[in-house]
Each structure stands twice: as structure tokens, then as C-alpha cells.
Chain A
């Protein structure tokens, strides 16, 4: 390979901040907005995405020389859908309450553009190790953002964090924060803050 290799560490950390899927690339916004009415929902959605992303990246990177270019998208989608279904069924069996709370958004991970995007842009061109590291970085970046978003909305919208009371009793919850508008407002402010920090760094 002629192109310069980025270090493994950089491959991992790029997903956390510079190329954070939500904050900088604005990918996967549908689940981001929809499930983050509480911190635990955001965190578990993130974990489900990490699992799917890492498994699909590993498998696609392993088979990247076997898959003809013409059918790569359908093959990617079948692989991703298989892992998503594994996640969905296992969650329904072992953590039914969480599965109920996340509702339709687990099956919808199939069409989450972060996952297909990483396969197309990275896993299909790189070796297994790098692909897994890339997937982990992106997945953790996604999870962190969702957890922060969910925490802010949960604290302001219901006075709780991970289901435990954190605000004084006198605090009147801002209901709008756990409704859809609260998701847009909070996400907008988060992205704005991220851009502001980047601009300050120069």
C-alpha cells in the first residue's frame, strides 16, 4: 500500500471527536433524536449499534476480496440485517424491558447510515484489525453522543439521570425536553458547542 498509514490510535480516536458520526458527520440522526429521551435509552441504543457495527465491519473486512463490487451493497445489507436481527431477538429474550423501550429503533439500525457508511468507506478497503478499531471508535463516539444527549434531556425533562432523582423536588421538569422538540434543540446546541470548540482550537 502506497498511501501513508494512520496510526491505529488515530484510527480509533477519529470516531470519538474529529469524525464523530453524529456531531461532525451528522449521520444516524433518526435514532439519535428518537430514542434519547433518557440516558439509559441512549446508552443501550449506542451499545446495540457498537455490536452491529463491529461485527459487520469485521465480517465484511474479512470477506472484502470475495464480494464482487456489483453486489456489495446487497451483501452488506444482508450482513448488517443479520447482526441487527441477532441483537433484536437477543434483547427481546434477555432484556425485554429495554427492548420494549427502544421499540422499533432496534430493527431500524439496519438502515442506520453510520453502519453502511463505515462498510463502504472503510471496512471494504481495510484489513480486519483496522476495521474493528475504526468500528469501535465510531461506535463509541456515537454512544457517547447519545448518552450525553439522553442525560441532558433526562435531567432537564424529568429531573432524573439513569432513572435516579438528581434534581431537587422543587425543580419543575421541562416537559419539552423529553418530547421531540427537546431532541432537536439539545442536538442543535451540542453540535453548535462542538463546532465552537473546534473553531477555538483553530
Chain B
């Protein structure tokens, strides 16, 4: 009996001390981690919404929209996050669009853990030293009033038709980016353009 009491005391004490240490550490690090995350998001939003001075966050039907405003506080454009599965990881992409959600202004890949050297080219392509972001920059200015985004291989894409060039060796990652953005635009367009 005495032996087992001792075991319980030792384990409980260890767990309590560990809990106390971690709880106090969390108090210190959590605000820093959150501040960093919101800083990253802020930079990303200003990146995909060109020419804005500030932005507002608005939740509509559970979807988070970032409304870009100019100096006078007039709403200029809108951004939202598009999330989905890539080839081997979750992709999180921030999409900036005009207020009618017809033209993509810019996009930014927030999170990806795709195959190094292939799928990671959706974010940066180190082999293209002059323009490492060539892939995602293809989405800038795409007009989607009539068509959805589609991707091509070995053909010159036509921007007017919403076409982009897929990455050689990473078709699935390229396709995933296209699909995720298409789906998010269709879904969010309905929510955003609904009055009230």
C-alpha cells in the first residue's frame, strides 16, 4: 500500500509541475505567436489587395472577408482565404479580387508543404532566378467573368480565357491551386454579393 501511494505521489507531482511550467510558458509565448500570425496575415492582405491603406475584417455566413479600403475609407476590393488539399499537404491561399469578384487582383500562398523542388514551385521556383514566383503571378489579373480558371501544359495560356500554365512535374499541385481557387470564388461570390 505504501509503495503504491508513493508511485501516485511521484507521478502526480511530476504532472502538476509540468503543467505549471507549460502554463506559465504559454502565457509568455502565446501573445507573441498570435502577434506574429496576425502580422503575417496583415502583410499578406496588403500584398494581394494593391493600393489599399487599411482593411476591415468581416464574417459573412462563416466566411472571413478582408475588405480593402483606400485613404477615404471607401471599400475598394476584397480578399478571402481558399483552403484545400494539394498533392501531399494542405494548401492555404489568400485571394484578392475586385468587389464584383470577377477579376483576381493577386494571390499569395500562405501555407504549403508540397514536394520540395516540384510542388513547392507554386510558391517559389528557385530555378527561375529572375521570377521565382512565376506560377502564382500568372493568376494576377485573370478575368473570370465568363470562365473558370483552367490550366494548360505545353501550350501558351490565354489570360483572357482564364488560363494558366501548369508546373512541369507538379501537375497535381498546379491543378489543386486552380481547383481550390475556383471553388472558393464560386462559393464566396454567392455569399459576398448577396445583399445585406
Contacts and interface: CB of A to CB of B under 8 A. Distances in A.
A160 B33 CA distance: 30
Given A37-B116, A96-B36, A173-B117, A82 B22 contact: yes
B154 interface: no
B32 interface: yes
Given A82-B22, A93-B36, A175 B10 contact: no
B116 A82 contact: no
A179 interface: yes
Interface in B1-47: 3, 6-7, 10-11, 14-15, 18, 21-22, 25-26, 28-29, 32-33, 36, 40
Contacts of A103: 113
Which secondary structure dominates chain B's binding surface?
Answer: helix
A90 B3 CA distance: 38
B34 to A, nearest CB: 10
Interface in B25-75: 25-26, 28-29, 32-33, 36, 40
Nearest to B40: A96
A147 B21 CA distance: 31
Contact of A179 (B7, B32, B36, B115): B115
Residue of A66, A70, A93, A96 contacting most chain B CB atoms (<10 Å): A93
Interface residues of A, number: 28
Contacts of A82: 18, 21-22
26 contacts: A37-B116, A66-B10, A68-B3, A68-B6, A68-B7, A68-B10, A70-B3, A75-B11, A78-B14, A79-B14, A82-B22, A86-B25, A89-B33, A90-B29, A92-B33, A93-B28, A93-B29, A93-B32, A93-B33, A94-B32, A96-B40, A157-B117, A175-B117, A175-B118, A178-B117, A179-B115
Interface of A: 37, 66-68, 70-71, 74-75, 78-79, 81-82, 85-86, 89-90, 92-94, 96, 103, 157-158, 160, 173, 175, 178-179
